[in-house]
Amino acid sequence: MRCDFHTRLGLEPFVKENLAWRERAWRLRDDTGRRALRSDGLRR
């Protein structure tokens, strides 16, 4: 799917929202990964 296809359908806000959601998911995953590393360090 090309970007111009999205804009033609007027889905630009949806795409932006999807990107924001993906970014939030990445941040959440990063936080859990850091927490796992911290607990791993405490276990040793």
The reported pLDDT for the residue numbered 42 is: 65
Residue spans per domain, the chain? 17-44
The reported pLDDT for the residue numbered 5 is: 61
The reported pLDDT for the residue numbered 4 is: 67
Task: Give the number of other Cβ atoms within 10 Å of residue 22's Cβ.
Answer: 10
Which amino acid is it at 24?
R
The reported pLDDT for the residue numbered 44 is: 56
Residue 44, SS3 per DSSP: coil
pTM of the predicted protein model = 0.41
The reported pLDDT for the residue numbered 30 is: 84
Per-residue pLDDT of the chain (44 residues; tens, 9 = 90+): 455 665 666 767 777 888 888 888 888 888 887 877 776 666 65
